[in-house]
């Protein structure tokens, strides 16, 4: 968890300001999440593990493969086609694949006000939720200068709701993706060991 703690320290002020996470856990986010998952009651742990027909170990394997892909594509020459493929994979894994199998299940089982709950709420509420829906339905594109993404999603849950255009900067998206990977990896690693 130490490696993830260090990676997430660049987002410490965002974790404190936007999510309301206190200073100590914001500087050791992965460790704080792992400790909170360890302390969940057995029923909550089982609910997360049983929330999907895909075994938790398989999900952890996908996360590890995804991280290796990210590491390898980041270390090669940044050709436009490689970057575009990376963006698609990263957004799908971080928001669609992990959304229901990890963040919603953990949100339901974690104590109110905990670091884990705050991370899961952030990752399942708007604007991340709207972005997740846009990715799942293919309603996104790069903005004009490639400094972020434009996406369209319904603000409400009704199918008659109009699609609303929004934009997310690359910096904001980097934060969302980093938080998603950290939360999932720290949680799944603990739960897989149970």
- Is the pLDDT reported for residue 148 higher than 80? yes
**Above 80 in pLDDT, residue 75?**
no
Residue 183 lies in a domain: yes
Report DSSP letters for 146-191, one per residue: SSEEEEEEESSS-TTSPEEEEEEEHHHHHHHHHHHHHHHHHHHHHH
Q: Are 97 and 62 in contact (CB under 8 A)?
A: yes
Structure tokens at 88: 């698609």
Total residue length of the chain: 194
Which of the four pLDDT bands, split at 50, 70 and 90, describes residue 155?
confident
Judge whether 142 lies within some domain: no
Give the bridge partners for 148, in sequence order.
Answer: 169
Range(s) of the domain holding residue 79: 2-136+171-193
pLDDT at 45: 92
Burial of 179 (0-12, 13-18, 19+ CB in 10 A): buried
| % pLDDT > 70, the chain | 99
pLDDT class of 83 with cuts at 50, 70, 90: confident
> Is 33 inside a domain boundary?
yes
The answer to whether position 95 is within a domain reads: yes
Overall number of domains in the chain: 1
Name the residue with tokens 């409400």: 156
User: Is 105 inside a domain boundary?
Assistant: yes
pLDDT at 166: 96
Closest C-alpha among 87, 90, 173 to residue 130: 173
Domain assignment present for residue 28? The answer is yes
């Amino acid at each position: 968890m130490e490696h993830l703690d260090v990676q997430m320290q660049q987002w410490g002020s965002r974790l404190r300001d936007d999510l309301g996470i206190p200073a100590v856990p914001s500087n050791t986010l992965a460790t704080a999440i792992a400790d909170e998952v360890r302390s969940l009651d057995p029923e909550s742990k089982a609910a997360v593990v049983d929330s999907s027909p895909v075994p938790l170990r398989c999900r952890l394997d996908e996360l590890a493969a995804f991280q290796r892909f990210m590491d390898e594509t980041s270390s090669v020459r940044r050709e436009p086609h490689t970057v575009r493929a990376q963006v698609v994979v990263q957004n799908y894994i971080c928001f669609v694949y992990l959304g229901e199998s990890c963040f919603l299940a953990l949100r339901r089982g974690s104590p109110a006000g905990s670091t884990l709950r705050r991370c899961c709420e952030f990752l399942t509420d708007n604007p991340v939720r709207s972005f997740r829906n846009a990715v799942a339905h293919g309603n996104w594109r790069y903005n004009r200068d490639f400094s972020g993404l434009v996406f369209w999603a319904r603000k409400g849950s009704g199918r008659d709701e109009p699609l609303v255009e929004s934009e997310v900067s690359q910096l904001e998206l980097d934060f969302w993706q980093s938080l998603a990977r950290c939360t999932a990896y720290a949680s799944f690693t603990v739960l897989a060991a149970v």
